[in-house]
């Protein structure tokens, strides 16, 4: 009995292998092979392609959305039915596998099992996407978050508006599916985009928590555009309780492709010319507004050179290389950030709920100054004893910034260290003549940096909510803003502090 079973299995294997080998030698497609609902089984490849060509004929494609229509010529996107490839796929259905799988597929077709394949379609995907992007311009509607409109100190909530956006990826998939069914009309896939901020989120915001302004430092067109762009992109932001705000996240990459222009920047402790000059004035202005609003500072780094538009310890630099200004809404209620740039003035405001308004004073202490040294370099082109200033020196500073909270009676509640800043000194470089000369004329020789007394306290403005705007015009608290000596821009700047 056992021997009969073994012989039976061997016989079955011989039959399967025989069918598999036979299936690979014929010139016809296996039985019951369909392209969608068209049976091309038991046909040669030429016969199958001829049969399919009667059914699959390319036509102009019609996209629709509501009452709008767009016709696309097949040549525009290089679209066609690849019947040769389709037939080859059908022919290979019982030939491309191993001998066992080919045999089983052949047996399946013989006993009536259907195999269905899709018609192959060739098209230029990039060209199709471009056509859909053109159509999107006629369909897309920008979503509008609810925002605040401030008129004569009155806060008005402007209602949100939903947007529309053509779903290009989904429409592209539908395009392929429709062509496989010889359907040349498609209802485009359009998504409704809901606002992230709605009127209910803003309905309780009724108070200006803090405001701070700085006057534009530099008037180049590039700097003005960078400031305008950064101010706009960091405005109209709602922060829910415990939510963090990342300055870099909202400004985006500091590149020309992202809209930023070339202007003066700080690079490696030197003044240089690069993309995005000016955006740090916006981050510094916002930093001061955040200080007065009492929000938590998560990450802040000072410039390597003291700024002209805010005092020592009151600046916040950002870079594409990783330095970010980040703060958190530590209130129990949402806050709303509103920034403006107009007539050479940047204003950053933070609105919230009246119960979250705080009386705050910002002060700074210069802990130490770091004198610069004068480096002398021999210069044979100058007469003996003559000097020439090659690079100006710059005094360095170590500064601590404090924030003091007061109650409604003016009594101090707490005083905290907000941040510590270090501005390194920069050595002066002087050329000293070594060539014998009968002339005694010499150029001006720079003097070294002077020491200042450590622990020199300097108060910032009170909370702007108490009739004090906290504005800075580049000379606020002159005791903590050092004079700015000219520096020589490097030839090849590195990562920059804008």
pLDDT at 471: 37
pTM: 0.65
Angle at which helices 279-293 and 221-233 cross, to 10°:
40
**Closest by Cα among 24, 22, 42, 23 to 32:** 42
Contact 122, 80 (CB under 8 A): yes
DSSP state of 291: H
CA 102/CA 107 separation, integer angstroms: 9
DSSP 260-284: --EEEEEETTEEEEEETTTHHHHHH
Q: List all residues 6 or more positions away from 168 whose beta carbon is below 8 Å from its beta carbon.
A: 129, 132, 133, 136
pLDDT at 4: 63
pLDDT at 144: 94
**Closest by Cα among 464, 486, 463, 483 to 475:** 483
CA 357/CA 466 separation, integer angstroms: 10
How many Cβ atoms are within 10 Å of 489's Cβ, its own excluded? 13
Local mean pLDDT, 10-residue blocks, the chain (498 residues): 64 56 70 89 90 90 94 93 91 82 74 84 94 96 91 87 96 92 92 93 93 84 91 95 96 92 72 81 97 98 93 95 94 94 94 96 97 93 90 95 96 97 95 72 42 41 38 37 37 42
Contact 124, 77 (CB under 8 A): yes
């Amino acid at each position: 009995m056992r021997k009969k079973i073994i012989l039976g299995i061997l016989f079955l294997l011989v039959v399967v292998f025989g069918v598999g080998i036979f299936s690979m030698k014929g010139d016809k497609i296996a039985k019951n092979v369909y392209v969608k609902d068209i049976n091309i089984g038991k046909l040669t490849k030429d016969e199958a392609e001829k049969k399919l060509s009667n059914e699959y004929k390319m036509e102009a494609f019609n996209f629709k959305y509501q009452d709008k229509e767009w016709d696309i010529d097949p040549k525009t996107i290089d679209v066609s039915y690849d019947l040769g490839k389709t037939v080859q796929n059908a022919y290979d259905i019982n030939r491309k596998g191993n001998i066992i799988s080919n045999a089983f597929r052949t047996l399946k077709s013989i006993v009536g099992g259907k195999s269905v394949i899709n018609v192959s379609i060739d098209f230029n995907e990039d060209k199709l996407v471009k056509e859909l992007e053109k159509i999107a311009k006629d369909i897309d509607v920008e979503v509008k978050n609810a925002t605040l409109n401030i008129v004569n100190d009155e806060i008005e909530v402007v209602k949100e508006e939903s947007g529309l956006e053509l779903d290009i990826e989904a429409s592209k998939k539908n395009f392929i599916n429709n062509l496989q069914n010889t359907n040349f009309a498609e209802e485009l896939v359009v998504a409704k985009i809901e606002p992230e901020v709605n009127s209910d989120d803003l309905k309780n915001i009724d108070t200006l928590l803090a405001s701070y302004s700085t006057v534009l430092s530099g008037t180049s067109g590039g700097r003005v555009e960078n400031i305008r762009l950064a101010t706009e992109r960091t405005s109209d932001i709602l922060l829910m309780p415990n939510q963090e705000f990342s300055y870099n996240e909202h400004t985006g990459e500091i590149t020309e492709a992202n809209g930023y222009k070339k202007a003066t920047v700080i690079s490696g402790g030197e003044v240089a010319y690069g993309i995005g000059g000016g955006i740090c004035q916006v981050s510094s202005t916002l930093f001061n507004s955040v200080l007065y609003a009492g929000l938590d500072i998560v990450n802040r780094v000072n410039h390597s050179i003291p700024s002209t538009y805010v005092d020592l310890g009151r600046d916040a630099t950002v870079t594409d290389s990783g330095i970010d200004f980040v703060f958190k809404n530590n209130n129990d209620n949402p806050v709303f950030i509103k920034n403006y740039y107009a007539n050479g003035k940047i204003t950053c405001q933070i609105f919230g709920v009246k119960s979250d308004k705080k009386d705050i004073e910002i002060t700074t202490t210069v802990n130490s100054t770091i004198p610069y040294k004068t480096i002398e370099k021999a210069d044979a082109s100058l007469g003996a004893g003559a000097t020439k200033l090659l690079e100006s020196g710059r005094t360095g500073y170590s500064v601590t910034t404090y924030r003091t909270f007061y109650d409604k009676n003016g009594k101090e509640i707490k005083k905290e260290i907000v941040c510590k800043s270090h501005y390194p000194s920069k050595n002066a470089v002087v050329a000293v003549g070594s060539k014998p000369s009968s002339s005694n004329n010499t150029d001006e020789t720079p003097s070294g940096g002077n020491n200042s007394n450590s622990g020199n306290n300097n108060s910032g403005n009170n909370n702007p909510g108490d009739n004090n705007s906290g504005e800075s015009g580049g000379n606020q608290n002159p005791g903590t803003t050092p004079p700015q000596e000219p520096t020589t821009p490097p030839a090849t700047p590195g990562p920059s502090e804008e």
